[in-house]
Each structure stands twice: as structure tokens, then as C-alpha cells.
Amino acid sequence: MEKHDAKRRAFLVRAAAGAGAVAGAGLVPGAFAETQEQGKEANPSFPAATHAHMRGDHEKLGAFFNHADAATVAAFVERIMPGAPGKPGARDADVLNYIDLALAGPYADLQEFYRHGLTQLGAYCQEKYKKPFVQLPPAQQDEVLTALDQGKATGFVWPTAQAFFNTVRTHTMEGMFADPIYGGNKDFAGWELVGFPGAQLFYSPKDMDSKEAFSRAPTMGLQSALTKISLGPSNSPARKG
């Protein structure tokens, strides 16, 4: 762990803890847990109840986000794709987990983009509402998203408000609808929402001729699809070149 990184995390943790903004994230980076364990650099006034919550049953280790950022992103993406009874949303699909894993790997070059974006988001909410984003009621969170989407939120330099919003929206859709192997679309939540049957290997003429929703086969993920292929006829000529 880089010293700078540890300090940055501790700072964000204090900011989050001071605001009590930790509920519902379901994701705690290992470094944060360690810091709490050892009592180093942690805010001595850290509320015990919050601490207990964070060490609770549903705690998971994250790959990139610190706890406060995780909580903010979880709340943000839930406003982009809110869940409702029978309509799975971002939290149901575990979009946060998708973005967290992506930023630790394929989208590592967007880490600073997210850090700056979230810092600016926090500053904007403090300035306008005197509260962090996660503590705002949904209607005010939607006001914030609208201001970002329309480029009206003040104080954004890089990324711009619209660039930040658009990127988070894109990643929300990826987390909703990408195959579950990437960490989102939990239990096919996103595919269930829109009625997409997933990684079907074929559609029959009868499927194609139907005016009804597809129901011949269960929703399939890549791992089940790939299993099926490996059972099929030989399809693996030696790699060349």
C-alpha cells in the first residue's frame, strides 16, 4: 500500500464517517478494514454504530473504491436505474461491484476520473445542500443528477459534470446488462428487467417467426453457454501464426 494511497483513503473515510454516510454500500476495501483494525489514521470519533454496520454480515471486500466512494456510487447508480418491486435496479444487479472491478482492471485509466468526479460531486452537494450526496433524499439526488446531466452543476472542472454523468451512466448500463462474469447483472437482474434471454447460442425459425416474447429456453449466461459449446463437435483448430 502506497503511503499516499493510505492517506487518501483515510481522508475519504473520515469524510464519509463524519457525515455518517456509509449505509448501504455493501463494499469495503480491505485497506479500510485494516485501518480500522489497527486504529491507525482513523478518526477517533468514528461512530461505533457505523463501524459495527460496516463490519456487518453483508460486508464485502472491494477491488478499488474506498467505503465512502462506494456508498456514493451505489446511491448514484441506483438513481440512474432505480429498482422497484418486480423491476430490478442497479442495486439488485450489483452495478457497484461491476464498476469497482472494472476500475481495478480494464478501466484502471479511469481511476482518477472517478476520484475527481466524486470529489467534485461531494463539493457540489455540500455547497448546494450542505450534505453529502448519500444523505440526500431521492428527489434531491435526482435534482443533482439532472444538474450533472444538463451541465448545470457548478464547480466541475475535470471531469466536466456532463462527462462524469455520461460515464457513470454508461458504466451503470454495462453493470446492469453485461454478462454476470463481469460482476454485475447479478442473477441476470438486468436481463430479467428488459426480457433479454442472454447468451442463447441459437434461435430457431419458430423463435424468429414468433410475435411473442421468447420463452423456449431459460436465460443463459456466458459460462453456461460456453459449457454447451465445449460439449459440441470439435471446434478448436490449432492456433496459427
Partner 1 sequence: MATQKTDVVIVGVGAAGGILAAELGKAGMKVIGLERGPRLTTSDFAPADELRYFQRQDLRPNYKRQPVTWRPNAGVRATPMTLLNYGNQAGGGTVHYGALSWRFHEDDFRVRSHTIERYGAKAIPADSSVADWPMTYADLEPFYDRAEYELGVSGKAGNLKGRKIDGGNIFEAPRQREYPLPALHPDQSGVLFNEGASKLGYHPFSSPRAILSQPYQDRPSCTYCGYCQAFGCHVGAKGSILVTKLPEADATGNFKLLTGTMVYRVNTDNSGRATGVSYYGPDGSENTVEAELVIIAPFIYDIVRLLMLSKTNKFPNGLANSSGHLGKHMMAHISARVFAAFDDRYVNIFMGPSAQKHTLDDFNADNFDHTGMNFMRGAQISVAPADAEAGPIGTAMSLVPPPGTPRWGAAYRDFAAKYFNRYAGIVAQTENLPYADQAIDLDPNVRDQYGLPAPRVTYDWRRPNELARIEFLYQKLEGIGHAMGATKVWRGNLSSGAPGSHHQGGARMGSDPKTSVVNRYSQSWDIPNLFLMGSATHPTMAGFNPTLTIQALAYMAADAIVNRYKKNPGALV
Residues lying near partner 1 in the complex (CB under 8 A) are found at 79-82, 84, 87, 89, 106, 109, 142, 145, 149, 169-170, 172-174, 176-179, 182, 190-191, 193-196, 198-205, 207-214, 222, 225-226, 229, 235-237, 239-241
Q: What is the DSSP string of 169-200?
A: HHHHHHHHHS-GGGS-SGGGHHHHHHT--BS-
CB of 183 to partner 1, least distance (A): 10
d(CA 51, CA 53): 5
Cell output for 28: 469495503
Nearest approach in angstroms of CB 40 to partner 1 is 37
Task: Please identify, using beta-carbon distances, which residue of 29 and 198 lies nearer to partner 1.
Answer: 198
**AA letter at 43:** N
Residue number, 94 or 174, with CB nearest to partner 1? 174
CA distance 99 to 63: 10
Nearer to partner 1, 64 or 191 (CB): 191
Residues 6+ apart with CB under 8 A from 194: 177
Eight-state DSSP code of residue 84 = B
- Among residues 43 and 204, whose Cβ is nearest to partner 1? 204
Residue 101: how many CA atoms within 13 Å on its side-chain side?
15
Closest approach of partner 1 to the CB of residue 20, in Å: 26
What lies within 8 Å, CB to CB, of 40 at 6+ separation is none
Q: How far is the CB of 138 from partner 1 (least distance, A)?
A: 10
Closer Cβ to partner 1, 130 or 239, answer by number: 239
CB of residue 149 vs partner 1: minimum separation in angstroms?
A: 7
